[in-house]
């Protein structure tokens, strides 16, 4: 760990790894901020099981955020520093319960601070469900890549693949999937692979990329992560889990989002066809909920790239602690 990072950590009034019981499981959570009075932001990562870009190995890595907010970095149960076997007994409800428990625990430790949520992809399911269940505990919510329904078997995804350079034999398989009403987890993984390879649905060619190399180097030199923790960011039991993916394929958050009662800011990439930006925009226009706001970032896909990550860090956090950008 370099000298600059050590100085950032030393200057923080809040910099601790705490253990909370969330959903009945003891889990480590990193809490970091320059000032103890700053507003709190809990990050709910994607995947499931992919704590990137913000995780418990990021102490001292994002001073541009922790100068203004107290960040709560939670590697959700089963990945990173909270390695655990995620078998098929786990459900979305299991992780929503952990999320609500985390909100309550943070509020016990910081009773005078506002608490907001920042979710990404799978994390947007947790933010929506938690905001619906305990709106009285939250100040604001922001998400990138909001899950709504038909993930990823939707019209936008099928059209993009049909107009891509997919080989004819794969286009034939795609046509079969398009006509199938109920899909398997294997088909979900196949569809995801195709979208990553043949479209810009996940990541655009323009707009820059997430600085994964820099983040990985920071995790490897973290004062909190072991090599096992680092490995469990990328290789963990979520790779074999089917219960969560089955639920995600069949989820419909329309009613939940239509009844959200806290300010809820959705940021979408313009090429996102995994959680299609067009569908999200149409939903917000037709639903009767003024709490929902949408910002579309150009040259961005479902996963935040360079431009969208810059927007989240430089503008999105302003929304979470002050309402700027509404």
For the chain, report the end-to-end CA distance as a whole number of angstroms.
Answer: 38
Exposure of 93 by Cβ count < 10 A (0-12 exposed, 13-18 middle, 19+ buried)? exposed
Q: Is the pLDDT of residue 140 over 60?
A: yes
Q: What is the pLDDT of residues 148-157, one digit of tens each?
A: 999 999 999 9
- DSSP letter for each residue of 149-172: BS-S-SHHHHHHHHTTT--HHHHH
State how far the Cα of 243 lies from the Cα of 188, in Å rounded to an integer.
13
| The CA-based dihedral angle spanning residues 133, 135, 140, 144, taken in that order and rounded to the nearest 10 degrees | 20
Residue 306: HSE in the Cβ half-sphere, 13 Å Cα cutoff: 9
The pTM of the full predicted model, rounded to 2 decimals, is 0.95
Q: Over range 244-262, report the average pLDDT.
A: 97
Q: What is the pLDDT of residues 309-326, one digit of tens each?
A: 999 998 899 898 876 544
Query: What local confidence, expressed as pLDDT, does residue 274 receive?
Result: 96
State how far the Cα of 3 lies from the Cα of 58, in Å rounded to an integer.
15
In the DSSP assignment, the letter for residue 59 is: T
Q: What is the mean pLDDT of the chain?
A: 95
Chain centre distance of CA 191: 20
Q: Is the pLDDT of residue 174 over 90?
A: yes
| Residues 273/303, Cβ–Cβ less than 8 Å | no
Kindly list the domain boundaries of the chain, sorted by start residue: 3-151+206-322
Q: Is the pLDDT of residue 159 over 70?
A: yes
Q: What is the pLDDT of residues 51-89, one digit of tens each?
A: 999 999 999 999 999 999 999 999 999 999 999 999 999
Q: What is the pLDDT of residues 25-45, one digit of tens each?
A: 999 999 999 999 999 999 999
In the DSSP assignment, the letter for residue 263 is: -
Residue 127's contacts (CB-CB under 8 Å, 6 or more residues apart) are 44, 99, 117, 118, 119, 141, 143
pLDDT band at 261 (very low <50, low <70, confident <90, very high): very high
Class of the CATH domain delimited by 3-151+206-322? alpha beta
Share of the chain above pLDDT 90, in %: 91
Q: Over range 192-215, report the average pLDDT.
A: 91
User: Taking each helix axis from N to C terminus, what angle separates 212-220 and 227-234, rounded to the nearest 10 degrees?
Assistant: 150
């Amino acid at each position: 760990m370099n000298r600059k990072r050590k100085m950032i950590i030393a200057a923080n009034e809040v910099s601790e790894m705490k253990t909370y019981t969330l959903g009945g499981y003891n889990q480590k959570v990193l809490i970091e901020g320059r000032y103890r009075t700053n507003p709190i932001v809990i990050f709910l990562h994607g995947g499931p099981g992919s704590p990137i870009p913000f995780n418990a190995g990021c102490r001292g890595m994002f001073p541009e955020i922790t100068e203004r907010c107290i960040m709560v970095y939670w590697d959700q149960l089963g990945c990173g520093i909270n390695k655990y076997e995620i078998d098929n007994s786990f459900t979305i409800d299991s992780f929503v319960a952990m999320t609500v428990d985390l909100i309550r625990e943070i509020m016990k430790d910081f009773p005078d601070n506002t608490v907001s949520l920042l979710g990404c992809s799978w994390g947007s399911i947790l933010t929506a469900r938690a905001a619906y269940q305990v709106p009285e505990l939250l100040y604001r919510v922001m998400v990138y890549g909001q899950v709504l329904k038909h993930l990823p078997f939707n019209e936008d995804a099928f059209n993009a693949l049909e107009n891509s350079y997919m080989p004819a034999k794969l286009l034939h398989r795609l046509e079969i999937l398009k006509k199938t009403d109920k899909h398997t987890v294997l088909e979900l993984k196949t569809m995801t692979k195709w979208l990553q390879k043949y479209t810009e649905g996940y990541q655009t060619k323009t707009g820059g990329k997430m600085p994964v190399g820099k983040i990985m180097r920071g995790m490897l030199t973290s004062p909190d992560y072991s090599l096992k923790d680092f490995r469990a960011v990328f290789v963990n039991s979520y790779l074999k889990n089917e219960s969560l993916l089955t639920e995600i394929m069949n989820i419909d958050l329309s009613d939940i989002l239509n009844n959200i009662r806290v300010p809820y800011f959705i940021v979408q990439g313009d090429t996102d066809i995994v959680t299609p930006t067009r569908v999200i925009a149409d939903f917000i226009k037709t639903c009767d909920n003024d709490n929902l706001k949408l910002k579309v970032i150009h040259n961005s896909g479902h996963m935040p790239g360079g431009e969208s990550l810059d927007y989240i860090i430089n503008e999105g956090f302003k929304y979470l602690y002050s309402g700027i950008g509404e």
